[in-house]
Amino acid sequence: MKDWRAIAKASGLDLDPAQLDRIAEPLQALEAAFRPLVNRLTPDVEPATGFGLPEDGE
Amino acid sequence: MTIREAADALRARRVSAVELAAAAHARISRLNPQLNAFITVTAGEAREEARQADAELAAGRDRGPLHGIPVAVKDLFLTRGVRTTCGSQVYRDFVPAADAAVVERLRAAGAVMLGKLNMHEMAYGITSANPHFGPVRNPWNLEHIPGGSSGGSGAAVAAQLVYAAMGSDTGGSIRIPAAFCGAVGLKPTYGRVSRYGALPLAYSLDHMGPLARSVRDAALVLNAIAGHDRRDPASSRRPVVDFVPDDGCSIRRLRIGLPENFYFDHLDPGVESSVRGVFARAQSLGALVTPVRVPDVAALNAVGRVILLAEASAVAQPHLEHREKFGPDVLTLLDQGRLLPATDYINAQRLRRQMCREFDQLWSQVDCLIAPTTPNTAPRIGDATVRLGGRDEDVRLATTRLVRGINVLGLPALSIPCGLGSTGLPIGIQIIGPAWEEALILRIGAALEDGGVGIPLCPAASHP
């Protein structure tokens, strides 16, 4: 489990505890949903990002 | 009156473009103090554009159905010489030197620009309770949000301040205000409409599209704005067709997907019964209602949130030294995005590719999916949670949970009004289609609209 409050502080976010909670709690919930998905990825799956060199005529 | 009716009236000389613009401006003057839908009204420029539109028509130059029609755009579309704030302090005094591609195309089609519409700050939220320009209010009930982030667009169309408005949709921001305000809202396929000159929220999720009074009006606007633009790296070269459904179009024998999982979980009961009524109507119109299991939309939403957090924080990073310029909800999201590692963003984009493939297989079973646009009707301004299915849910997460995934997939989706909830607020359905099938989902929407799916005119719009 990631310590988002510690990560925030280490990233230079100087926030009070209530503000840190507002940042950390949703990230905690997102992490719980996201991490199992990542763990099932296989190396052949490439990212759906848009880089491509211009083709003729562009 | 719809765009088509106004266009007919213009050509029959029953009304002039100057009169249409003046009537729109009069309604804005009367209703905008309550609705706060506009950040900037460009009445003087609109009058001049309308004069020009009349002169052209009189000289036999007809630019098409939008010629002389009053419209407005969300205040993230660049407008030459007119302030473009993005609903933010960061851009409070930004006056662009050029128009966004969408604005160029609307002008080329002869539309008359009435101004710039209020929105959620930076398009990063769904309430449109803007801390810098004031909250947009729902024309059906001023105590409620209009949805967002294109809240001003939804309110202005529903209150008939303009005939159509442009919005942007990164995680539901066209469809949510359309549903909450009782308007039609179209998120086209990613790449169909140029993003050039629209201030970005998240590059790979941002879609530009219209909100309008009817399905055919939304199609008329799409006709004007769709098409390749080499200035947008994601713009498609796919040919543009005529998107306007024929009169009397049919959905007979079309396979309309009724999701068996996810989309009907934890709904407001009024929303559920209203949406299920649409399937009964579709069946009576000859459609084949086909129950279907959809891939994991909750997973799709998690992937969408990671991509959005990372991209939005990357876009906003140069401005984050001035934290005082952001409202608290947007700042919290921007801080969250800064903390995500690059590996999470890349892996989210890998999952996205995988999920696009999974979703693609759905289209061998059905021609479209129909689902609620939102699980709830518009919450009150200031509500942080909404109670659905016996549990309290964060307003933003609840309101986006049925729409966000479709941005990850880049698919076209059309929200149309289908009923009123127990509190008298509008309910919307979304028609989701395969990539590039806007013409199909617009045809389905128009057939349902023709078949009686819809709501009465918003009370605020009923008064001349």
Is B233 within 8 Å of chain A by CB?
A: yes
pLDDT number for residue A56:
63
Q: Spell out which residues of chain B touch residue A58, defining contact as CB-CB under 8 Å.
A: 230
Cβ A27–B335 below 8 Å, yes or no? no
Q: CA of B354: which chain A residue's CA is closest?
A: A45
Output the average pLDDT for chain B. 97
Q: Spell out which residues of chain B touch residue A7, defining contact as CB-CB under 8 Å.
A: 339
pLDDT tens sequence across A26-37 = 999 999 999 999
Residue B84: is its pLDDT beyond 90?
A: yes
Q: Choose the catalytic residue: B74, B116, B168, B415.
A: B74
Cβ A22–B332 below 8 Å, yes or no? yes
The domain total for chain A is 1
Mean pLDDT, to the nearest integer, of B44-65?
98
Cβ A38–B234 below 8 Å, yes or no? no
pLDDT number for residue B461:
81
Range(s) of the domain holding residue A28: 14-41
* In contact, B194 and B231? CB cutoff 8 Å: yes
Residue A57: is its pLDDT beyond 70?
A: no
Q: Choose the catalytic residue: B173, B194, B236, B313.
A: B173
Q: CA of A28: which chain B residue's CA is closest?
A: B336
pLDDT tens sequence across B214-223 = 999 999 999 9
Which of B228, B307, B347 is the best substitution to test chain A (most A C-beta atoms within 10 A)? B347
Q: pTM, whole model, 2 decimals?
A: 0.97
ipTM for the predicted complex comes to 0.94
The minimal CB distance from A47 to the residues B233, B340, B346 is found for B346
| d(CA A52, nearest CA chain B) in Å | 9
pLDDT tens sequence across B406-436 = 999 999 999 999 999 999 999 999 999 999 9
Residue A6: pLDDT band by 50, 70, 90 thresholds? very high
Residue B182: pLDDT band by 50, 70, 90 thresholds? very high
Cβ A48–B204 below 8 Å, yes or no? yes
* In contact, B74 and B136? CB cutoff 8 Å: no
Strands B134-135 and B129-130: antiparallel
Query: Is residue A47 situated within a structural domain?
Result: no
* Residue contacts between A and B (CB atoms, under 8 Å): 65
Q: Reply yes or no on whether B74 is catalytic.
A: yes
Residue B349: pLDDT band by 50, 70, 90 thresholds? very high
The minimal CB distance from A23 to the residues B332, B344, B356 is found for B332
Q: Choose the catalytic residue: B88, B149, B204, B274.
A: B149
Q: Residue by residue, what is the 3-state secondary structure of chain B?
A: CCHHHHHHHHHCCCCCHHHHHHHHHHHHHHHHHHHCCEEEECHHHHHHHHHHHHHHHHCCCCCCCCCCCEEEEECCECECCECCCCCCCCCCCCCCCCCCHHHHHHHHCCCEEEEEECCCHHHCCCCCEECCCEECCECCECCECCCCCCHHHHHHHHCCCCCEEEEEECCCCCHHHHHHHCCEEEECCCCCECCCCECCCCCCCCEEEEEECCHHHHHHHHHHHECCCCCCCCCCCCCCCCCCCCCCCCCCCCEEEEECCCCCCCCCHHHHHHHHHHHHHHHHCCCEEEEECCCCHHHHHHHHHHHHHHHHHHHHHHHCCCHHHCCHHHHHHHHHHHHCCHHHHHHHHHHHHHHHHHHHHHHHCCCEEEEECCCCCCCECCCCEEEECCEEEEHHHHHHCCCHHHHHHCCCEEEEEEEECCCCCEEEEEEECCCCCHHHHHHHHHHHHHCCCCCCCCHHHHCC
Is B280 within 8 Å of chain A by CB?
A: no
Is B228 within 8 Å of chain A by CB?
A: no
Is B332 within 8 Å of chain A by CB?
A: yes
Residue B463: pLDDT band by 50, 70, 90 thresholds? low
Residue A50: pLDDT band by 50, 70, 90 thresholds? confident
Residue A49: pLDDT band by 50, 70, 90 thresholds? confident
Query: Is residue A26 situated within a structural domain?
Result: yes
Residue A41: is its pLDDT beyond 80?
A: yes
Mean pLDDT, to the nearest integer, of B268-297?
98
Q: Spell out which residues of chain B touch residue A26, defining contact as CB-CB under 8 Å.
A: 336
Query: Is residue A3 situated within a structural domain?
Result: no
Q: Spell out which residues of chain A touch residue B352, defining contact as CB-CB under 8 Å.
A: 47-48
Query: Considering only CB atoms, which residues of chain A are within 8 Å of chain B?
Result: 4, 7-8, 11, 13, 15, 19, 22-23, 26-27, 30, 33-34, 37-38, 41, 45-50, 58
Query: Is residue A51 situated within a structural domain?
Result: no
Is B230 within 8 Å of chain A by CB?
A: yes
Enumerate domains of chain B plus CATH numbers: 3-462 (3.90.1300.10)
Query: Is residue A54 situated within a structural domain?
Result: no
Query: Is residue A9 situated within a structural domain?
Result: no
Mean pLDDT, to the nearest integer, of B399-404?
98
Mean pLDDT, to the nearest integer, of B14-40?
98
pLDDT number for residue B119:
98
Query: Is residue A29 situated within a structural domain?
Result: yes
Mean pLDDT, to the nearest integer, of B244-257?
97
- What letter would DSSP give residue A12? T
pLDDT number for residue B71:
98
Residue B460: pLDDT band by 50, 70, 90 thresholds? confident
The minimal CB distance from B352 to the residues A26, A27, A48 is found for A48
Query: Is residue A53 situated within a structural domain?
Result: no
